[in-house]
Structure 1
Amino acid sequence: MILSGLALGAVLGFALQRGRFCVTGAFRDIWLVRQSRWLTAFLVTIAVQSVGIFALDAAGVISLGAETFPWLAAILGGLIFGFAIVYAGGCATGTYYRAGEGLVGSWIALAGYALSAAIMKHGPGAPIVEGLRGVTAPVGTVHDLLGVSPWVLVAVLVVGVGAATWHHLRKDAARTKPVQLPAKRKGLARLLFERPWNAFATAVVIGIIGIVAFPLSYAAGRESGLGITTPSADIVAFLVTGDVELVDWGVMLVLGILVGSFIAAKASGEYRMRVPDAQTVLRSAGGGLLMGLGAAIAGGCTIGNAMVGSASFTLQGWVSFAAMLLGTGIAVRFVFGARSRATASAPAKTPVGV
């Protein structure tokens, strides 16, 4: 059954690549250009998944809930992770699918992410993570905290996200349409590989994948949904120890993302090996290491926490989501603010011929 993780991961990687679905870009746009289109698309994945997984929970297929809320780890880890993804050039899933496109910088960030996550989960950093995550509040979910049915929160989320999506779709419809080049493919091939995927359509697809992940993962003995950090750490631990029990459904899922994104990039003509400069290598490596550190402390990345955790209305999910968004804003101020100051202080160039 763990091979279903490989298959679903390939579908996820394919959708991420064709939709250019980048959570880092969604978070960064809020701070850099005050644009919420991609963040709204990300919220669509949460809303779609929330409806599906609470339906599965009601049907007894899966069991949702959180006993406690590790608030300190969620805040601290989320801030670190949000800060790191700007320097790494992508979050966990973004790094995986860009690695499948041939982006060497993403391979470097991915290696740093998996290594530091393994250190913090399986190595000398584990006691630190355990200590931070041991600082908890007794209530683990938003609906338990408020004393309401989770379906009330699902309804509020769906209505709110639906209104925001309608706003952006109306703005998209009002824009001047770009000139369409003659199609090189026909039918399904054109839809899959040639035409750019709509952000909101991609979000719905990813949300459905998130729903399907739960019963498939449960059937393989892993009682969880989509997750990137622990499987990435388990890959490193397996390579070091050779313990085959570490190779579970989640490991197959993340390997599938690489496979699916590679297939999508090759078929669409977007695969190209791109070697970064020295500065990008250092930023990718440092960002990847910090990303694994933050995700291990927070208990997940933008998928495991900000998407899956938020969809099930855990306090860890929503608080870490907010902390990641804030951490991204801090990094944007450091990175893009420094560039702006450097540009402003640079001496003006004398025009040629003057």
Structure 2
Amino acid sequence: MLLSGLVVGAALGFAMQRGRFCVTGAFRDLWITRNTRWFTAFMVVVAIQSVGVFALDGLGIIHLTTPDFAWLATIVGAFVFGFAIVLAGGCATGTFYRSGEGLVGSWIALAMYMLLSAVAKYGPLGASTKALRSVTVPMDTIHGSLGVSPWLLVLLLVAGVGLAVRHHLTKPKRAVATLPPERTGLAHLLFEKPWHPFATAAVIGALAIAAWPLSWATGRHSGLGITTPSANALTWLTTGDADLVDWGVLLIAGLLVGSFIAAKASGEFKIRVPDARTTVRSIAGGALMGIGASWAGGCTIGNAMVNTATFGYQGWVALIFMILGTGVATRVFITGRRNPAGSAAPVAAPVPA
């Protein structure tokens, strides 16, 4: 059953690469262009997963439990993580799948993310993580606090996301010039035709649901997750402790495999070496991502995509503060500041999403 982690990870990496599913870009668009299309796609994943995960819980296949809300660690860590993903040019999963495309800057950010997540969980910064996450309040889920069925919140979430999807699908479409297809049939669909954001989100949502029972069957009682598996993988590489190689570690290995296959088959794989400034930002961004995600108890996947689907306070608060952190970093590094005379400063070159 452990190998199912590799399969799910490969499918996830493939879908994210072909669909250009960038959570950093989705958050950044909220601040730069006020465009919610990609954020809506992200919420489609949450809504689909929410239906699936509560169905699995109701059938007794999994048993959802949520710890007390570590509010201070979630707020601080999520803000740091949101700020960091702009520097790094991608969130945790984005960094994984862009590494599979051959972006050396993402390799650097990924290495720093894995290193610092291990340091913040098991190394010298472990005490800071433990201290921050010890500050809790006896609140676990939103529906628990309200005293209502989680299905009421699922219904409201699905309805709200459905209206947002309808809004975007009914907008007039701009004509886009395309080259004649070189492939036909399934090959054209998989490797050549651009994937629609909402179709990509539906695939990712289905994979997120499948992750729960497959991971659960191996003794790992969680769904998709990137930060702890990354810390475990790095610790295993340095200590040789085979007990750390669980379903989650194989998941992130699959992310690299799947994204590489997708990029290679679609002709999008290319080794691209960053300039000095991008390299420095990749180092800083990757390091802050590892620390922030460890403090917050998850990244854009474990918190903003998975814990939101189960209506945990940690997930929704983390989502809000990740977006705020992204907004601050966007202001600092992309849109620029106004100079003392009041005129707009030149806009900095965008950090790759």
Is the deviation greater in 330-339 or in 247-256?
330-339
Query: Higher Cα Rg: structure 1 or 2?
Result: 1
TM-score, length-normalised on structure 2? 0.95
Quote the offset at 1:341 in angstroms. Answer: 5.4
Query: Partner of 2:294 in structure 1?
Result: 296
Q: CA deviation at 1:124?
A: 1.3
The 1-side partners of 2:345 and 2:248 are apart by 49
Paired residue for 2:313?
315
Code of the aligned partner of 1:243: D
CA distance in 1, matches of 2:165, 2:78: 26
Checking the alignment, whether the CA contact within 8 Å between 1:65 and 1:141 is kept in structure 2 is: no
TM-aligned CA deviation for residue 67 of structure 1: 3.3
Q: CA deviation at 1:240?
A: 1.3
The structure 1 residue matched to 2:277, chosen from 266, 276, 279, is 279
Deviation per residue, 1:297-324 (Å, 9 max, x gap): 0000000000000000000000001010
Would you say the 8 A contact 2:337–2:345 is kept in 1?
no
Match of 1:269 in 2: 267
1:242 aligns with 2:245: no
1:46 and 2:46 correspond: yes
Contact kept? 2:24, 2:90, Cα under 8 Å = yes
What is the CA–CA distance in structure 2 between the aligned matches of 1:221 and 1:184, rounded to whole Å?
A: 45
Identity within the alignment, %: 62
Higher mean alpha-carbon deviation, 63-72 vs 314-323, is at 63-72
Matching residue of 1:12: 12
Report the Cα distance in structure 1 between the residues aligned to 2:195 and 2:121, rounded to whole angstroms.
36
2:120 alignment partner in structure 1: 120
2:181 matched residue in structure 1: 183
Give how far 1:159 is off. 0.1
The separation in 2 between residues aligned to 1:9 and 1:345, in whole angstroms, is 42
Distance 1:65 1:54 in 2: 12
1:338 Cα offset (Å) = 2.9
Give the C-alpha shift of residue 127 in structure 1: 1.4
SS of 1:31's partner is helix
Task: Name 1:352's counterpart in structure 2.
Answer: none
Which residue in 1 is equivalent to 2:137? 137
- Between the aligned partners of 1:32 and 1:341, the Cα distance in structure 2 is 19
**Distance (whole Å) between structure 2 residues aligned to residue 221 and residue 5 of structure 1:** 12
Number of the residue aligned with 1:87: 87
Question: Is the CA contact 1:65–1:314 (under 8 Å) kept in the aligned structure 2?
Answer: no
Residue 225 of structure 2 corresponds to which residue in structure 1?
227
Name the count of aligned residue pairs. 344
Give the Cα separation in 2 of the matches to 1:59 and 1:235: 32
Residue 78 (structure 2) aligns with: 78
Q: Distance in 1 between matches of 2:296 and 2:78?
A: 6
Residues in 1 aligned to 2:345 and 2:102: alpha-carbon distance in whole angstroms: 36
The Cα of 1:340 is off from its aligned counterpart by 7.1
RMSD: 1.3
* Residues 86 and 328 in structure 1, CA contact (< 8 A), matched pair in contact too: yes
**How many angstroms apart in 1 are the aligned matches of 2:7 and 2:94?**
18
- Aligned with 2:170: secondary structure? helix
Contact 1:65 1:312 in 2 (8 A): no
Partner of 1:350: none
Deviation at 1:180, TM superposition (A): 3.2
What pairs up with 1:152-167 in 2 under 5 angstroms?
152-167=152-167
Secondary structure, in 3 states, of the residue corresponding to 1:204?
A: helix
Q: 1:100 touches 1:265 (CA, 8 Å); kept in 2?
A: yes
| CA–CA separation in structure 2 for the residues paired with 1:339 and 1:2 | 49
Which secondary structure does the structure 1 equivalent of 2:308 belong to? Answer: helix
Give 3-state SS (helix, strand or coil) of 1:52's partner.
helix
| Alignment pair present for 1:197 and 2:195 | yes
TM-aligned CA deviation for residue 145 of structure 1? 1.2
Shift of 1:339: 7.1
Structure 1 gaps of 5+ residues are: 347-354
Shift of the 190–71 alpha-carbon distance from structure 1 to 2, 3 Å rule, reads: same
Shift of 1:64: 1.2
Match of 1:55 in 2: 55
- Which of structure 1's runs of 4+ aligned residues deviate more than 2 A? 337-346
Larger % of helix: which? 1
Kindly indicate whether residue 111 of structure 2 is the aligned counterpart of residue 111 of structure 1: yes
